[in-house]
Structure 1
């Protein structure tokens, strides 16, 4: 009696979230059990296939658990965390590309300035044959 009063006082979204969570948990457990049974029968038939199926069962169960957790968070109104590793990696790659482009631009710019800064000067030599004729 006391437990039912507490459950009735919760808001409708909380009740829906709890029901959805229970459905997800039972679906994951059912899927995990059937996959485990399949893996056990495969293990008996072939030792090589059993190792691959065992890895598959583990990864499938982990994926199902991960998806169920994300679904529960979405139903509860929580946003997923930012992928900081991806963001930091993209920033580092962008910085490296910018640095390379800046270095290449500076190298190209300094090459052009060196050619333009050359001044040619006429030098008159005292032993020059042209000056003796004058």
Structure 2
């Protein structure tokens, strides 16, 4: 009897320890699943926020640099690329308008000449009788 009581006393703490260990493993496993789910959710939210904020950061950086330049007394640089592009577009549109105007005038007058001049050519008549009918 003494031996059975002693074995039961030893088994009871071991059983409690085993149960506690199983519960701990289960809790850690479910916490790991919850942590993975939370990581995926926050990663998705951060990615979405980055896509929304991305264009705004470029604009904010440009404005901040312009403000720093203004406070330092520097004038903004001339947008030479835009000016050159506008000049090139103006030249192209002017050339196109001129070509269309010349074509319209030639079409209206019924001449094939673009500049509207008619060239006259002098022809010498041959003096021989073999060409006359």
TM range (shorter): 0.3 to 0.5
User: Which structure has the higher relative contact order (CA within 8 Å, separation 6+)?
Assistant: 1
TM-score (norm 2): 0.45
TM-score (norm 1): 0.44
Is the radius of gyration larger for structure 1 or structure 2? 2
